Amino acid sequence: MDVPPILFPFAEYWWLYLGFTVFVLAALALDLGVFHRDAHEVGFKEATFWSVVWVALALLFNLGFWFYTGWRIPQLDPTFVHAAGYASAEVASRDLSLQFLTGYIVEKSLSIDNIFVIAMIFTYFAIPAKYQHRVLFYGIIGALIFRAVFIGLGSWLMAIKWVVWIAGAFLIFTGIKMLFAPEKGLEPEKNPVMRLLRKMVPITNQYFGQKFFKRIPDGPGGIVHATPLFVALVFVEITDVIFAIDSVPAIFALTREPLIVFTSNIFAILGLRALYFLLAGLADKFHFLKYGLGVVLVFVGMKMVWLNELYGGKFPIGMSLGIIGGLIAASVIASICFPKKSSAAAPTSPPEGA
């Protein structure tokens, strides 16, 4: 079976990737160098403002992408457009913009689950609120690198039919596990990465401002120690890699265009910090969200292994957007209508030396 071509291959449209990457780097430099140059606790109003800004930028990008594809695709060979699975240039332009929007919603929704895990990490290591943004900032940079690698590999692997089936089956398994597996607490000391980290560098349980490393004692004879900020950063990066294993195949189930996969992933990640400060304390408020996300993963897995073939190679993206948006909205509404009963639990403290 021939693999349908993609409309925006990297070799021809590398300048789009480059321009978007420059925009991302400029936004990150502006964020840390201007708006968050001094460490401070991010309040609800500031988090809300930046959440709105990042969502608005993503939607503006999608609008610009729609106009660009509406201009560019009619210039392509019609047989090439048809081979890619679109009835016409107009349909292709509309579907591509919907693919970005659907992918962005999926990535944004999955990142909410990631946020709650990050909140557990910060609580476990007792990271002061004013330093959490710094950890998240460098965590985002690492996430951008890992996602770019995963997407590059995925765009190649997803051209292989049996890989698509395996990825779809994995998403279905992950979704079912999310629905039925009991929640587990955070146990970094049992993580092999933590044991490896201890062998590589001494770890202090003291904070030295925003520093990730500190020479103790000061001076030439001192030994470089990792601070709790660095340890938390390592676990934030591990968390993102784990979530990327789910999220990257999930978006490839919605679109074959690497440009859409890359940009929608990055926009979701860029808004992760602001969303964290907005939602970190609301984990118990959205206790049904994990079930909605579980069903979403099962659905996108089914698209990869069955539904796309059932609909002639491409499940309608409009239907995907409606189903995914409906599932997430239903889980949020159910969480509000049926609040979780509060349970008193003793806070967990990091072990001595962590």
Query: Given a cut of 60, is residue 345 above it in pLDDT?
Result: no
Contacts of residue 196, Cβ cutoff 8 Å, sequence gap at least 6: none
Residue of 112, 160, 154 whose CA lies nearest to 296: 112
- Does the pTM of the predicted model rise above 0.75? yes
As a whole-number percent, the residues of the chain with pLDDT over 90 amount to 15
Q: Could you give the C-alpha distances from 148 to 28, 254, 263, 288, 306, in angstroms and in order?
A: 16, 18, 10, 31, 27
Residue of 285, 301, 284 whose CA lies nearest to 176: 301
Instruction: Work out the average pLDDT over 210-229.
Output: 84
Instruction: Work out the average pLDDT over 327-348.
Output: 74
Asked if 127 and 228 count as a contact pair (C-beta separation under 8 A), the reply is: yes
15: burial class by Cβ within 10 Å (0-12, 13-18, 19+)? exposed
Q: How confident is the model at residue 277 (pLDDT cuts 50, 70, 90)?
A: confident
CA angle (57 as vertex; 53, 62 as ends), nearest 5: 150
pLDDT of residue 185: 60
79-83, 93-97, 283-287: the lowest-pLDDT one? 283-287
Query: Given a cut of 80, is residue 283 above it in pLDDT?
Result: no
Query: Given a cut of 80, is residue 269 above it in pLDDT?
Result: yes
Neighbours of 126 (CB within 10 A): 15
The whole-angstrom separation of Cα 133 and Cα 26 is 18
281 or 80, which is more confident?
80
Instruction: Tell me the DSSP string of 205-258.
Output: S---TT-SEEEESSSTT-EEEE-HHHHHHHHHHHHHHHHHHHHHHHHHTT---H
Annotated domain spans of the chain: 14-184+230-337
Asked if 285 and 331 count as a contact pair (C-beta separation under 8 A), the reply is: no
Sequence-ordered alpha helix ranges (H) in 73-160: 78-83, 89-124, 129-157
Q: Could you give the C-alpha distances from 193 to 48, 54, 126, 227, 232, in angstroms and in order?
A: 34, 32, 19, 16, 12
Query: Given a cut of 90, is residue 70 above it in pLDDT?
Result: yes
* pLDDT tens digits for range 153-166: 877 777 677 788 88
The whole-angstrom separation of Cα 69 and Cα 96 is 8
User: For residue 26, what are its two tokens?
Assistant: 């400029």
